[in-house]
Amino acid sequence: MSDLFNPTEEHKVLREMIRSFAEKELEPQAEEYDKSEQFNLELFRKLGELGLLGVTAPAAHGGSQMDATAAVIVHEELAAVDPGFCLAYLAHSMLFVNNLAVNGNEEQLARFLPGSCSGELVGGMCMSEPGAGTDVLGMSTVAIEEDDHYVLNGQKMWITNGAISDNELGDVFLVYAKQEDRSARDISLFLVEKGMEGFHLGQKLFGKLGMRASTTAELVFEDLRVPKENLVGTPGKAVRSMMRNLEIERVTLAAMSLGIARRCIEIMNDYARERTSFGKPINHFGQIQRHIAESYAEFMAGRSYVYDVASKLGPEGAGDRIDSDGVKLFCSTMAKNVADRAIQVLGGYGYVAEYVVERLWRDAKLLEIGGGTIEAHQKNITRDLSKIEKIR
């Protein structure tokens, strides 16, 4: 019988490798970097040594050329230990590397992918703005074509890997901007590099509820001259590539939810087996049994959904949008609820850092917001369902 979660021997070996890495390398530093709200660049680069920063990128440019299921495995395993670090990894490996690998030309791939796959470069993607998050077509960053370059003006907000330290920009970003005097859907995609005149770090955001081990920043473009060779794809035609890349982003964000939920279930299961009250282990009491059993059932339902959808994603990371929305909608709330139950089972111990679940609970909340809010997924799914008569 085939294993949905490890469909090939290669997937099984990958899971074992990344789980070992997460336990040995990620676990010891997770609490420290959560408290300091810093990005562990040295550890991030170790993922490059393992071939994971370009997990879906072509081998010809330094990637591992694996499939969406492999990407899901990596995100599940990293998030089970340190979701914040995993979010930085996702922004780099999916939103930058995978996006560029699918949409860039050969010259762009040769320039940027080897360094991105090794960890020499830290990348990200810029779409959200202070006044345009879910409404991506409402963005106001503008690109004006002039001779052999484009001039960009605007701001991007909530950018993961926007700052790799308090005052240092990330290395390279894929930036979405409107074409001047065109419709809202005429959006282009540009490669913007650290050091370009007019490209600034607006602010690094501190005091986040969770995902503190990934940096979040505002990026500012002031008369930024971007050479035409840094235009990715066809001018004004980036909406399609944007939407397709969002599919694999949402599936891997759902995989992060799986990692959070799985770790919470393991912790509350162990605790309920060992902790006694009124002379019995607390897992003998119905209230506790309900928390554990419902958490496991919901986790396994979500896990099966995610791996099924991942198995159907094509080489461009796109499949059926209704289900990329569906897995993110279901799993993000599932993980938050499971983490909440874990805190309840552990009582006072769940409320402090020693047992990890309070950090996982804080991290889980972001997944109902980032990469598309749950309300956006509800809207998309309802709209897509209205176009069909029967569910296959």
Q: Give the CATH number of the domain where residue 343 resides.
A: 1.20.140.10
Last residue in a domain, options 88, 122, 156? 122
Q: Is residue 272 part of a domain?
A: yes
Kindly state whether residues 95 and 131 are assigned to the same domain: no
Query: Cβ(121)–Cβ(172) under 8 Å?
Result: yes
Burial zone of 387 (CB within 10 Å; 0-12 exposed, 13-18 middle, 19+ buried): exposed
Nearest to 242 by CA among 254, 251, 232: 232
Kindly state whether residues 381 and 261 are assigned to the same domain: yes
Kindly state whether residues 136 and 272 are assigned to the same domain: no
Could you report the per-residue pLDDT of 27-61, keeping only the tens digit for each? 999 999 999 999 999 999 999 999 999 999 999 99
Q: Is residue 299 part of a domain?
A: yes
For residue 209, what is the domain's CATH number? 2.40.110.10
Q: Is residue 51 part of a domain?
A: yes
Could you report the per-residue pLDDT of 260-270, keeping only the tens digit for each? 999 999 999 99
Burial zone of 191 (CB within 10 Å; 0-12 exposed, 13-18 middle, 19+ buried): buried
Three-class DSSP category at 157: strand
Rounded to the nearest integer, the mean pLDDT of the chain is 95
Owning domain of residue 133: 124-236
249 is catalytic: yes
Buried b / exposed e along 220-242 (16+ C-beta atoms within 10 A): bbeebebeeebbbbebeebbebb
Kindly state whether residues 91 and 205 are assigned to the same domain: no
Last residue in a domain, options 122, 156, 189? 122
Kindly state whether residues 161 and 57 are assigned to the same domain: no
Last residue in a domain, options 101, 122, 143? 122
Kindly state whether residues 138 and 232 are assigned to the same domain: yes
Kindly state whether residues 29 and 115 are assigned to the same domain: yes
Which percentage of the chain shows pLDDT scores above 70? Answer: 97
Q: Is residue 175 part of a domain?
A: yes
Q: What is the structure's pLDDT at 180? A: 77
Contacts of 230 (CB under 8 A, 6+ apart): 108, 190, 191, 192, 193
Please state the rounded mean pLDDT for residues 180-188. 78
Q: What is the structure's pLDDT at 316? A: 67
Q: Is residue 171 part of a domain?
A: yes
Kindly state whether residues 224 and 252 are assigned to the same domain: no
Could you report the per-residue pLDDT of 221-237, keeping only the tens digit for each? 999 999 999 999 999 99
Kindly state whether residues 247 and 381 are assigned to the same domain: yes
Count: domains in the chain: 3
In this structure, what DSSP letter does residue 140 have? Answer: -
The one catalytic residue among 77, 129, 249, 298: 249
Q: Is residue 4 part of a domain?
A: no
Kindly state whether residues 192 and 208 are assigned to the same domain: yes
Q: What is the structure's pLDDT at 286? A: 97
Half-sphere exposure of 318 (CA within 13 A, CB side): 11
Q: How far apart are CA 25 and CA 77, in angstroms?
A: 12
For residue 63, what is the domain's CATH number? 1.10.540.10
Q: Is residue 3 part of a domain?
A: no
Q: Is residue 2 part of a domain?
A: no
Kindly state whether residues 134 and 192 are assigned to the same domain: yes
Q: How far apart are CA 77 and CA 71, in angstroms?
A: 10
Q: What is the pTM of this model?
A: 0.96
Kindly state whether residues 197 and 258 are assigned to the same domain: no
